[in-house]
Amino acid sequence: METATASDAPTPELFGVRGLVRTVRTPEFAGMAFHEVLAKSALNKVPASSHMPFSWTVNPFRGCSHACVYCFARNTHRYLDLDAGKDFDSQVIVKVNIADVLRAEVAKPRWGHELVALGTNTDPYQRAEGRYALMPGVISALAEHGTPMSILTKGTLLRRDLPLLEQAAHQVPVDISMSIAIFDDDLQQRVEPGTPTTTAARLATVRAAADRGFDVTAFLMPILPYLTDSTDHLDAALAGLKEAGASSVIYGALHLRPGAREWFLAWIDREYPHLGSAYRSMYSRSSYAPADYRAWLARRIKPLLRRHGLDARPDGDSPASRRFARGSAAQQTGVHRQATSAPAAVQGLEPQSTLF
């Protein structure tokens, strides 16, 4: 039987944060704290200058127990006066009322029924979802109000909700993507220590979704220079994805944004000290791998994709795509902005980094 301890007083880590209900610690999640909050909003507006193919996101959690050393979202924890390293992995914000708030927002007459993306910041099927079961309410709220959704996850807990997602797909478009970056179980557990313990478990989840009729996209990213970019590793990865029933693949080299960069390089220094200087050289001027490396990677992987009969496209997050998106946003007229503005109920929401 689970024994949990809870405190109704704000913890030192989150002192002064509005909306905090309590902090929960339990032996089932040793070393972790769940800070339960009452969210004021659920929908996050993506900036017009973003290259992302969606305008809205929902994030039931902030922080992530998957503890991926490369996670780009790490820096968002600093907005909470928490650090981007261990705190991101162990101090998880849980929006316990997310489904009710979302339902109210998408029920508004002026809601535009635009695609809502889940899993763009932190994973909605991280281990905490097993405790809080927020996603069934989120899925139902979107489907019942005619709102298409996409889900990106590393979590095998997705299988729990496949029957519900299958029902939702009769009402609205539902896209499912599985992130499987590493096809070496030992390396995977060092890079992503809080994720399901074998790659096979995630491949089985791809198969389960495909068997229910979903066209599952696999995110083969980040590809780690010197660690997962060999022909053998990429070939094995694509063979496994094809066999599991993935319909397409998105691939891309490692990004190292502020917060993630420091944490990842510290990990490299501990685990692969001989690669430290190479990584620092590659990422000294940009969060992105150098253009020549990305071109080299594309030349290596494209013949393998053809061999395995997988549709694919490179990661759309690149310096060029970001410049294009910023330019397109700058050309929008005031009339266009007014015509496509968010309904009054959801105006004023901040980008994906918003907390409440």
Q: CA nearest 199: which of 228, 165, 160, 166?
A: 228
DSSP 89: H
Q: What pLDDT shows up at residue 5?
A: 60
Other C-beta atoms within 10 Å of 343: how many? 14
Q: What pLDDT shows up at residue 6?
A: 58
306: Cβ–Cβ under 8 A, 6 or more apart, which residues?
A: none
> Is residue 322 pLDDT above 90, yes or no?
no
For residues 65 and 232, give the distance between their C-alpha atoms in angstroms, rounded to a whole number. Answer: 30
57: Cβ–Cβ under 8 A, 6 or more apart, which residues?
A: 43, 44, 46, 116, 117, 118, 120, 121, 352
Report residue 349's pLDDT band, with 50, 70 and 90 as the boundaries: very low
- Dump pLDDT digits (tens) for 279-316: 999 999 999 999 999 999 999 999 999 999 999 888 76
- Could you tell me the end-to-end alpha-carbon distance of the chain, in angstroms, rounded to an integer? 32
Task: Give 135 or 352, the one with higher predicted confidence.
Answer: 135
Mean pLDDT of 28-49: 90
> Is residue 339 pLDDT above 80, yes or no?
no
For residues 354 and 80, give the distance between their C-alpha atoms in angstroms, rounded to a whole number. Answer: 10
Other C-beta atoms within 10 Å of 274: how many? 8
Rounded percentage of the chain residues whose pLDDT exceeds 70: 83
- Please report the DSSP string for 110-133 in residue order: T-----EEESSSS-TTSTHHHHH-
Burial readout 152-177 (b: 16 or more C-beta within 10 A, e: otherwise) = bbbbbbbbbbbeebeebbeebebbbb
- Dump pLDDT digits (tens) for 222-241: 999 999 999 999 999 999 99
> Is residue 57 pLDDT above 90, yes or no?
yes
Task: Give 49 or 88, the one with higher predicted confidence.
Answer: 88
- What percentage of the chain's residues is helix, strand, coil (to nearest 5)? 45, 15, 40
Distances from the Cα of 151 to the Cαs of 124, 146, 210, 325, in angstroms? Answer: 8, 16, 14, 23
Q: CA nearest 91: which of 63, 128, 131, 66?
A: 63
Q: What pLDDT shows up at residue 11?
A: 52
> Is residue 343 pLDDT above 70, yes or no?
no
Mean pLDDT of 11-35: 78
SS3 (DSSP) at 176: strand
- Give the chain's mean pLDDT: 86
Mean pLDDT of 264-275: 97
Q: CA nearest 305: which of 253, 205, 231?
A: 231
> Is residue 208 pLDDT above 90, yes or no?
yes
**Between β-strands 61-62 and 91-95, what pairing exists: parallel, antiparallel or unpaired?**
antiparallel
* pTM score, whole prediction: 0.84
